[in-house]
Amino acid sequence: MWRNLKSIGMMIPTDSFYNKFSCFYPLVDVFLKPQKQVLFNEVNTLPAGNLLEIGVGNGAHLPLYKKHYITGIDTSSEMLKIAGKQNHKHVRLLQMDGEALQFQDGQFDYVVLSHVIAVVDNPERLFEQVYRVLKPTGRVFILNHFTPNNWLKHLDRAFGLFSKIVHFKSVFYIHDIATIRSFELLKEVHFGPAAYFKLLIYQKQ
Ligand SMILES: C[S@@+](CC[C@H](N)C(=O)[O-])C[C@H]1O[C@@H](n2cnc3c(N)ncnc32)[C@H](O)[C@@H]1O
C-alpha cells in the first residue's frame, strides 16, 4: 500500500532533493556497502520480528534482510518507486514521514536508521517517534557519521554550509538528542581508522 501523506501538504525540500537524487544514489551506496554488511549481519542474528526501516531510500538493502517482516518508509516518492520495483515477500513500502509516524505505539521489535538521522529535519522528533513505536526492550540500529573528537571535526565544520545544500548535517553528535537517554547502548562498531562512521545498537528501556 502506498500512502501519499505529504501530498496533502507542501513538498518539503528534502523530498525534492531525494526525488532528483534518486537515480544517482547507487553511486553513494557502493561506498557504504561494507558498513551495511555489518549492520545486516547484526540485524539477521536476531529472532524474527516486526522491523521498521525509516528512510528506506531506493531499497538497495531490502535483499539483505534474511528474516523479519519489513516495513520500509520514506518521504521521497521517487526513492520509493525504485524500491518498489523489487519484489520481496514480507516487505511493505509506505510514503511516510519518520517524524510523524502513522503507527500505533509499541508495534515494532526493531527500527533501522541507516544514514537518515542526519538527514531528517528534526532528529529529536524522529527519536521520540522511534521510542513510541518500539515495543518494550525493542532495539534501534543506527548507522551514520558522527562528528568525532579528532581532526575530522574541523572538516565537518568547514563542510557545514555545503552539507545543508545537499540536505544533511555534517556536524552531528548523538548526545545532542535527548531522547537517546531513554535507550541503553548495547553495542558500538567503528568504521575506518578515524571512526567517522559508526553502527550504534540501542535497546529501549
Ligand atoms: C541518505 S538516504 C539513506 C537511504 C538508505 N537508508 C541507505 O542507507 O542507503 C536518506 C533517505 O532518508 C529519506 N528521508 C529524509 N527525511 C525523511 C523523513 N523525515 N522520514 C522518512 N524518510 C526520510 C530520504 O528521502 C532518503 O531516501
Q: 158 in helix, strand or coil?
A: helix
Tell me which residue range forms the domain holding 181: 5-204
Q: Which pLDDT belongs to residue 92?
A: 96
Among protein residues, the one whose CA lies closest to atom 11 of ligand 1? 55
Q: Which atom of ligand 1 is nearest to the CA of 112?
A: 6
Q: In this structure, what are the phi and psi dihedrals at residue 5, rounded to the nearest 5 degrees?
A: -70, -35
Of the candidates 20, 25, 80, 54, the residue with the CA atom closest to the CA atom of residue 143: 54
Is 95 a pocket residue for ligand 1 (Cβ < 6 Å)? no
Q: Which pLDDT belongs to residue 126?
A: 98
| CATH number (domain holding residue 36) | 3.40.50.150
Mind listing the pLDDT tens digit of every residue in the chain (205 residues)? 333 444 434 445 788 877 776 777 777 777 788 899 999 999 999 999 999 999 999 998 899 999 899 999 999 999 999 999 998 889 999 999 999 999 999 999 999 999 999 999 999 999 999 999 999 999 999 999 999 888 888 888 888 877 888 788 888 999 999 999 999 999 999 997 788 999 999 999 9
- CA dist 17 and 201 (Å) reads 29
With 0-12 / 13-18 / 19 or more C-beta atoms within 10 angstroms meaning exposed / middle / buried, residue 181 is exposed
CA of 157 to the centre of ligand 1 (A): 22
Q: Which helix (H) or strand (E) holds 186?
A: strand 183-191
Q: Which pLDDT belongs to residue 5?
A: 41
Q: Which pLDDT belongs to residue 76?
A: 93
Q: Which pLDDT belongs to residue 15?
A: 81
Domain count, the chain: 1
Task: Give the Cα-Cα-Cα angle 27, 29, 34 (nearest 5 degrees).
Answer: 130
Q: Which pLDDT belongs to residue 133?
A: 98
Is 79 a pocket residue for ligand 1 (Cβ < 6 Å)? yes
- What's the length of the chain? 205
CA of 170 to the centre of ligand 1 (A): 15
Q: Which pLDDT belongs to residue 105?
A: 98
Q: Which pLDDT belongs to residue 31?
A: 77
Among protein residues, the one whose CA lies closest to atom 14 of ligand 1? 55
Pocket test for ligand 1, best of 15, 75, 93, 164 (most atoms within 8 A of CB): 75
